[in-house]
Structure 1
Amino acid sequence: MRDETSAGRVTLAQVASQAGVSLSTVSKVLNGRPDVSAPTRVKVEELLDNHGYRRSTPTAPEAPLIEVVFHELDSTWSMALIRGVQNVAKETGVSVVLTETGTRHSPGADWVEGVLRRRPLGVVLVFSTLPDDLKKKLWSRAIPFVIIDPAGDPEPDVPSVGSANWAGGLAATRHLIELGHRRIAVITGPEDMLCSLARLDGFRSAMGMAGLTPDPALTRFGDFHVRSGHAHALDLLGAPAGTRPTAIFAGSDLQALGVLEAARVLGLRIPEDLSVVGYDDIPPAQWSSPALTTVHQPLVEMAEEAARMLLRLRRSDRTDRPGSPPQPSGADQADTRIEFGTRLVVRDSTAPPPGA
């Protein structure tokens, strides 16, 4: 076996010599074998990359599956994304495997070794991005990946599917302002996630357009889960009647459900005493009591598009040097960063403020 570089040729024996390992160890790294220490694997991979080694054929058979990777799987939001990927997988005759790992920013460090052994057709990741070393390893094995609903701002070489978070925050807040609300609170997601900040910016823009100044005391950062919505709402709504908000815009439906429960505990009626708007339009939103006004984020469609994008990348010609992203050809190249629109769904949890 031999490899190509921009300056000439180098044999795997030379790579082994430079790395101070045996030729069989280099072969194990190339084949994704687990019985190689992490430092040795990194050293060999770096030398292969530096020499421009190109794997002209797969070193292991591809598995006819799409891997979907989350940092958590315990939410209706996750289920909607899984359903979207499954819809496309069923159409194309492949299977779906789920992995839970890492934090909301990136997968766990040990995840990539497993995916290199599994060799799926591609990977859909629900994270903000991937560290450079993980991207290079996936590219070196010709395993495409797509980031869905990016929580950060993916680099230009990272295919991604997201939604119009700023516009969603704007629409939710405008609805409350048009009903007559002026003292509006916002409970968004983590402060280090772009989608949280974009929804908050939409809220602030709507307030500014209406000539209103948001009260900093009414802005809270949570984690998109029921508990954080409940805790922040108890604090916000525990203020005297004249100073507490008459409406709350929650950055997720789960947080909004927590707000509804806090209002119930405090004896406040929805929407007579307090209006609530959520975000996502997950199935439980229409069955809450009262039914939740929310911003519809097309989660299933976003996941379907991410899966289709992945399969397009899978079919693309990969003639790039190792450590570089696969480049889709033709029209596909313009379709690797897609943003879906959002829309307001008005139900029964919003009304004019008391006394209006």
Structure 2
Amino acid sequence: MPASPRRATLATVAASAGVSVATVSKVLNGRSDVAPATRTLVESLLREHDYVGLSPRRGESAVTDTVEVQFDDDFNAYSTEIIQGVVTAGAELGVGVVVSVRKKIDQPAVWARHLAAAGRRALISVTCHELTTRQLTALSRVQLPLVMIDPLNLPDASATSVGSTNFAGGLAATQHLLSLGHRRIAYIGGPTTAACNQARLHGYRAAMEAEGAPVLPGYTRFGQFRYQVGLEHGAAVLGLPEPPTAIFAGCDEMALGVMEAARARGLRIPEDLSIVGFDDTQIARMASPPLTTVRQPLREMGGVALRTALRLAAGEKVDSHHVELATELVVRGSTADVTCSEHA
């Protein structure tokens, strides 16, 4: 059978009209915040392109373009925040969001063609592993824009990414502990190859060096951003001959693992051990005591990623291929001043 013509997309219409994909979505969904002249032009082009989402009958939903958010690991508190941000932005813009988990990509070309055939207008990738050149090439060949969130390594200009100020966050977390009088501060972080972990580690080391506080042997440990890693490394560092009085963990999930390791040794938090996390997910607020952490604006990052993906799908240029959103220290109950006995 002859191949059916590729249907017009929001990006096609937006490019023809010289407007954003979001504006076309607003017209399709009957939003009032569109200038009359722009609405008339967009509606005319929708008819010209025979867009299937034009003028749905009462009770029917407008057909919208979809963007896929793809993870390569199981969902956790971090990924939930990202998803919430993307879905919220999608609802505001009238864009469908599909969430998937793909742990292994053996055939990049088939993977990319499948995404394009499913009608995806763009891909948002949240990955624990570096995307390969073959995968990036496959997406480019099917003209599927890619936006990465907190990528393992900062990509070149051919890929667009959204992250946060990880160095500043690591610096703020360590400076907070130093301001409380702690000098024996350990860092339990993520994979050594991850750019976000390297930046947090550099922030930690910069704060320690500026204060003249030595980083003792065994005080820096690394693994996956997971609870079990925090539990295991927390137990190891607390078992050192000269254990730390404070620990900065590379994510909230790891920080909760450290908390449990401390409790298993009979340590009180924060009286005997201060702990700082990173992310400010829901589990930070639910922890006992509530976790002092560095707020990474995960929901905002998801929203920025979606809006950037739509701009790329519409053929627009972006101002920067890597955007960093500001982090912020949130002080709660898991940190306190060093006691007199710890100074002794």
Q: Per the shorter chain, which TM-score range?
A: 0.7 to 0.9
2:90·2:96 contact (CA, 8 Å) conserved in 1?
yes
Report 1:195-206 matches (<5 A).
195-206=196-207
Q: Distance in 1 between matches of 2:202 and 2:237?
A: 20
Alignment deviations for residues 243-302 of structure 1 (CA, whole Å, 9 cap, x no partner): 111000000000000011111111100000000000000011012110100000000000
Please point out which of 320, 338, 341 is paired with 1:353. Answer: 338
**CA apart distance, 1:108:** 4.9
The residue that corresponds to 1:126 in the other structure is 126
Secondary structure, aligned partner of 1:231 = helix
Q: How much does 1:133 deviate?
A: 2.8
Quote the residue 1:144 is aligned against.
145
Alpha-carbon distance between aligned partners in 1 of 2:169 and 2:331, rounded to the nearest angstrom: 13
Q: Please give the residue correspondences for 1:197-276 in structure 2 after superposition, counting only pairs within 5 Å.
A: 197-240=198-241, 243-276=242-275
1:334 to 319, 335, 340: 319
Q: Give the structure 1 partner of residue 190 of structure 2.
A: 189
The letter for the 2-side match of 1:76 is A
Task: Output the CA distance in 2 between the equivalents of 1:262 and 1:108.
Answer: 38
Distance 2:247 2:134 in 1: 42
Q: Which amino acid aligns with 1:131?
A: T
Measured on the aligned residues, the alpha-carbon RMSD in Å equals 2.3
Partner of 1:78: 79
Mean CA deviation greater in 134-143 or 306-315: 134-143
| Contact 1:63/1:120 (8 A) holds in 2 | no
Q: 1:118: how far off?
A: 1.3
Counterpart of 1:313?
A: 312
Superposed displacement of residue 91, structure 1: 1.3
Deviation at 1:102, TM superposition (A): 3.2
Map of 1:103-114 to 2, 5 A cutoff?
Answer: 107-110=105-108, 111-114=111-114
Q: Distance in 1 between matches of 2:189 and 2:196?
A: 9
Q: TM-score, normalised by structure 1?
A: 0.75
Q: Deviations over 1:152-190 (max 9, x none)?
A: 111112111011111111000000111100111110001
Runs of 4+ with deviation above 4 angstroms: none
Q: Secondary structure at the match of 1:217?
A: coil
Match of residue 325 from structure 1: none
Q: Which residue is equivalent to 1:278? A: 277
Letter in 2 for 1:281: D
- Residue in 2 aligned with 1:15? none
Paired AA for residue 271 in structure 2: E
Q: Say how many residue pairs are matched.
A: 283
For the pair 1:293 / 2:278, whether they are aligned, the reply is no
Structure 1 partner of 2:15: none
CA contact (8 A) 2:64 2:96 kept: no
Quote the residue 1:12 is aligned against. none
Per-residue deviation, 1:129: 5.0
Tell me, in whole angstroms, the C-alpha distance in 1 between the residues paired with 2:159 and 2:332: 37
Aligned ranges for residues 17-32 of structure 1 at < 5 Å?
A: none
CA contact (8 A) 2:189 2:221 kept: yes
Give me the whole-angstrom Cα distance separating, in 2, the residues matched to 1:222 and 1:354: 30
Does the aligned pair in 2 maintain the 1:101–1:108 contact within 8 Å?
Answer: no
Contact 2:167–2:199 (8 Å) recurs in 1: yes
Deviation at 1:89, TM superposition (A): 1.1
In the superposition, the TM-score normalised over structure 2's length comes to: 0.77
